[in-house]
């Protein structure tokens, strides 16, 4: 089970982002698993959970302008902050 998963009302595992989206809530993993849960995760997992939400970014993508722009746009859509994307122009 991935570290950002929770159980829904049907006992299915879903990501915390999916759960919040489906139920119009805003729970954090610390709310579910206790304060300090996010801090206990490895840094790369925390970054993936914190910055991507429902967006999954594939590992080992080529480092091109198109990849950087796609990732920045995806993060902007999820986070509502397009500064990184706009800085690429």
Calculate mean pLDDT across residues 70-87: 83
Rounded CA gap, 1 and 52, in Å? 18
Please tell me the predicted confidence (pLDDT) of residue 52: 45
Structure confidence at residue 25 as a pLDDT band (50, 70, 90): confident
Q: Parse the chain into domains and list their residue ranges.
A: 1-41
Q: Residue 53 above 60 pLDDT?
A: no
pTM listed for this prediction: 0.52
Q: Are 16 and 28 in contact (CB under 8 A)?
A: yes
Q: Are 15 and 4 in contact (CB under 8 A)?
A: yes
Structure confidence at residue 64 as a pLDDT band (50, 70, 90): very high
For 32-46, the pLDDT digits (tens) are: 899 998 889 888 777
Rounded CA gap, 89 and 84, in Å? 10
């Amino acid at each position: 089970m991935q570290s950002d998963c929770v159980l829904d009302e049907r006992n299915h595992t879903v990501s915390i982002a999916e759960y919040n989206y489906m139920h119009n809530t805003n729970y954090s993993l610390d709310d579910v698993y206790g304060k300090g849960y996010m801090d206990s995760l490895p840094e790369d997992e925390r970054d993936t959970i914190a910055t991507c939400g429902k967006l999954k970014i594939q590992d080992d993508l080529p480092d091109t302008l198109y990849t950087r722009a796609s990732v920045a746009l995806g993060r902007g859509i999820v986070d509502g902050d397009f500064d990184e994307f706009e800085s690429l122009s």
